[in-house]
Amino acid sequence: MLAVMKPFNKKIRPLLCVLLCGLFLFGCKDFLNPRQELDITEEELFNDWYEYRSVAMGLYALQKELVEQLVILGELRGDLLTITPGADVDLVDIYNFNFSKNNKYVSPVNFFKLISACNNFIRILERDHPEVVDPSINRITNYDRLYGEALCMRAWTYFNAARIYGKVPFIHQSLVTIEEIDNYINTPGTYIDSVYIDFSIGGYVNDTTFNKPIELKKQYLDMDLVLDIFINELETKVKEVGVNHYIDNNDNTWEVSIWNTWAMNALLGRFYLYQGDLAQAVKKYEKIIYNDTKNLRYQLDVSFGLDGTGTSSNWYNIFTNIDNREHIFTLWFRKANFQQNNFQSLFEPLPPHRYVLKPTRQAIINWETVWKGTRLDEYPTNPVRTKVLERGVPGDFCRGYETSYVYIKDGKIMPRKDFEKMLIYKADGDDRSVNAMMEDVDTVVWKYSIGKLRYDQDANFIIFRAAGIHLDLAEAYIYWEYMHGGVVSPYTLNALNIVNDGSNYSTLATRLQKGVRGRLGLGSDVDAIKIPNYDYQFDPFTRKILGYRDLTGKLYEKQLLLEERILEERARELAFEGERFYDLMRVAQRRKNPAFLASKVAAKYPAGKREQIYNYLLEEKNWYIPYFDLPENSPQGAVPCPQAGSPSM
């Protein structure tokens, strides 16, 4: 076996100095003004609390470097986002599931940077503040809270890497620079780490062995191992999460701009949901939703729904500000602090932006074929006679047009009244008028442009928010069973209530609860999602009945239908936030049906390419980017998958 030993260097790693500089990128300069010399030793650096906090801020600066990659890989491989003719070769290859190591969106280097930074910070906290790992010490300090933040950050990073790559190398905690990680991954054999320090429970100065050589054998973690390792770590090692900065800066949004207790429960809930442990997933999500019987902070009222007129939406405010009633964990960007991202450039067709990504037709249909006020004349004993009495009004006007997407022509957004007129033309079957209105119109993702000036480029990136947690919980409730009167019963009704009107919430709430759809005026009896015995199929544009399915006495088929309805609701609520491909993966894996994902993703491709994509995605291994199995400097097309083609418009 070939062994590589790295030289010992007691100087602080360059990455740690990057973390210090990250303080200024994060906009926390009021906390301190740390020295920037690259030769500061670790002993000199960590002398007081604010120096620890500055390095922690650097972790968030590194986390921000991942947001564009997360959105592109989580959405462009799904069914809601596609490329425009202006897309560069890297985006075209992602669209075509055609991966190579020189694709900037494929590289795991930003994941490794964050893991190595977390490793280093965790190591220092364990060394200098051993109380963070001593369960017998009950007094919680800010060092315990920082430790919890770093552990959550590392677990989240591994989880996302596993979702993207299918497997991720386990980075030993002694590896704290990108160079070390790169050597470790590329060493064809055992890697010997000569700087490893074995910390005792007494900490840095008590029975600690320095420079203990340790042989590191490469181990790749698949999703099952990632979940097992980090569920155990978060459940057993974290005492508290999140430092309260409100005392220092009088800004209560700081609570949700860092890892916090609610965010850790959201992360653990998602871990358990992916693991299939629905009981534990429900337990974690309910800790968020039922966190306070007086406030019920993360339950859903009208705050982000309809305004007083019942016709205009406040939902877009979720993306213009940070609000502790909706945001659970949000990465904060601000142009004035030189904290920007490229979302506006990726999505807007207005100069100087590139307009390389756009919503798919299916994404638009999800919003434009929501109907409000439909009334049926039903015949339960003879469903073929059921007729539409009133078709209602089409369009999800809260989450759809002018919020998640817009139509732009000649640099101008189509006015709302013209958009509404276009929907009526569609409902009346007047294709000629529709085509005339939509000629030369660009379809644009707008979620990251709401309230932004042309050059801002600083939209926040939401990792967890209330509505997403409610939809996660509803998904878990579909299949979760419980004992009631000695009989095993499903919790399906709770899933419906969460999505529709929030009627399962505590009656002690001081706010009127509405549910995911209810706060948008879509959760009433007529407009609510239902799972009836007869599931009618409607023409999505005219609302005419095309047929029905008889689901009488078929609980499992009803559960599958509800699962799909909740998935559709996730598409309306969470589109372009980086989760869509993994939502499809999770449901397809639960059903043991790869065709479920393959059919939905393939539908966005041109007719001549659709079957090729469908067949490719029937193999679950092709859902992941095989980065660690690709040769170095691999050419484009290294993976046997479809070649470039024109995106569907």
pLDDT tens digit sequence for 8-44: 333 334 444 445 444 434 444 333 333 333 333 445 4
- The residue among 403, 405, 400 whose CA lies nearest residue 358 is 405
Predicted local distance difference test score (pLDDT) of residue 511: 60
What is the rounded CA–CA span in Å between residue 523 and residue 517? 5
Please state the rounded mean pLDDT for residues 484-488.
66
Between CA 437 and CA 446, with CA 442 as vertex, the angle to 5 degrees is 115
Q: What share of the chain is helix, strand, coil (3-state, %, to 5)?
A: 45, 15, 40
Confidence band for 643, pLDDT divided at 50, 70 and 90: very low
Residue 398 has pLDDT above 80, yes or no: yes
Read off the pLDDT of residues 256-293 as tens digits, 9 standing for 90 and up.
999 999 999 999 999 999 999 999 999 999 999 887 65
Percent of the chain with pLDDT over 90: 67
Mean pLDDT of 46-59: 82
3-state secondary structure of 423: helix
DSSP 433-494: HHHHHHTTPEEEE-TTTTT--TT-----EEEEEHHHHHHHHHHHHHH-EEEETTEEEE-HHH
Residues paired with residue 195 on neighbouring β-strands, in sequence order: none
DSSP letters, 73-108, are: HHHTTSSSEEE-TT--HHHHHHHTT---TT-TTT--
Question: What 3-state DSSP class applies to 311?
Answer: coil
First and final CA of the chain: distance in angstroms? 54
Kindly give the residue spans of alpha helices, DSSP state H, lying in 96-222. Answer: 109-128, 142-165, 178-186
Give the residue, 197 or 515, on which the prediction is more confident.
515
Nearest to 463 by CA among 191, 267, 170: 267
Q: 6-15, 293-302, 417-426: which has the minimum mean pLDDT?
A: 6-15
Q: What is the mean pLDDT of residues 588-604?
A: 98
Say what angle helices 142-165 and 261-275 make with each other, to 10 degrees: 30
Nearest to 213 by CA among 11, 2, 3: 3
Please say if the pLDDT value at position 649 is more than 70.
no
- Out of 49-58, 169-178, 254-263, 460-469, which region has the weakest mean confidence (pLDDT)? 169-178
The b/e string for 105-136 (b: 16+ C-beta within 10 A; e otherwise) is bbebebbbbbbbbbbbbbbbbbbbbbbbbeee
3-state secondary structure of 409: strand
Which residues lie below 8 Å from residue 283, measured CB to CB, with a gap of 6+?
none
Number of helices (H), then strands (E), belonging to the chain: the values are 22, 20
User: What are residue 390's DSSP bridge partners?
Assistant: 375
Least confident of 285-289, 338-342, 510-514, 616-620: 510-514
- Tell me phi and psi for residue 419, to 5 degrees: -60, -45
Question: What's the chain's average pLDDT?
Answer: 85
Instruction: Identify whether the C-beta of residue 450 lies closer than 8 Å to the C-beta of residue 403.
Output: yes
